[in-house]
Amino acid sequence: MMLEIPEVLSKHEVRSLRALIDAGDWVDGNETSGHQSRLAKNNEQLAQGSDAARQAGEAVIAALNRTPLFIAGALPRNVFPPLFNRYGKGQTFGAHVDNSIRALAGTEFRIRADLSCTLFLEEPELYEGGELVVEDLFGEHRVKLPAGHAVLYPSSSVHRVTPVTRGCRVASFFWMQSMVRDDFSREQLFRLDTTIQRLSAEKGGEDRSVIELTSLYHNLLRRWADI
């Protein structure tokens, strides 16, 4: 399941975050790449572990935690500390698959990467190219969202970033381990959750159908969740 998540950050929050990271130290993007990704990747990355990266990552996590659509779609168990990258003219990231296990260097923190997320931090009209392209059985899905919007997609997907031909593409990216590791099950829970919310708004939380569907949701989550 691919899911667009609008307005994770407000425009003011994007400007504050950009001021923080733009003043930070940027390094070769292959600092965190696996072997296969190194062959395809050409970008810059905010130095992992720097004060700017830590503060910006905490701001992104705080924003995600107050975004109900993200919680409903991801059902996150653990989120890898957000990273930040930028692509200037001619830079790109060819087709690749994210590593199945992500470990935080120097710590015992590691997750199974079930889901990947890109949070856009530059307005789309300010750069050309730089689309996120995610492949699945239905073909290619091209994503280029307003600053502050995010897209969630399975880490198992083959994906790429097209070459930037003008301007600079800036984004945060990270992975998460979901409480529900199976993408199909997670999608069904998301559909059920959004249906419950819609019916609750129409009929009220005490409506019998809302109660029954809520019971079904939690019993399925109880059956499928790994915590």
Q: Which domains does the chain have, with CATH numbers?
A: 3-178 (2.60.120.620), 183-224 (4.10.860)
Residues comprising the binding site for Fe cation? 96, 98, 159
> Residue 164 and residue 5: Cα distance in Å, rounded?
23
pLDDT band at 35 (very low <50, low <70, confident <90, very high): low
Identify the pLDDT of residue 27.
Answer: 95
Mean predicted confidence (pLDDT) in 3-30: 96
Residue located via tokens 């969740």? 225
Tell me the backbone φ, ψ of residue 14, rounded to 5 degrees: -60, -45
Q: What residues are designated binding site?
A: 96, 98, 159, 169
Please check whether residue 146 is in contact with residue 124, taking contact to mean a CB–CB distance below 8 angstroms: yes
- When computed from its CA atoms, the radius of gyration of the chain, rounded to whole angstroms, is 18
pLDDT score for 147: 98
Q: Which residue has the tokens 């609750």?
A: 200
Break the chain down into helix, strand, coil percent, rounded to 5: 35, 30, 35
How far apart are alpha carbons 159 and 98 in whole angstroms?
9
* Residue 46 · residue 85 · CB < 8 Å: yes
Annotated binding site for 2-oxoglutarate: 169
Residues 156-195 have pLDDT tens digits of: 999 999 999 999 999 999 999 999 999 999 999 999 999 9
Instruction: Record the tokens describing residue 110, joined without a space.
Output: 């590691």
Find out whether 98 and 132 touch, Cβ atoms under 8 Å: no
Instruction: Give dist(CA 173, CA 152) in Å, integer.
Output: 10
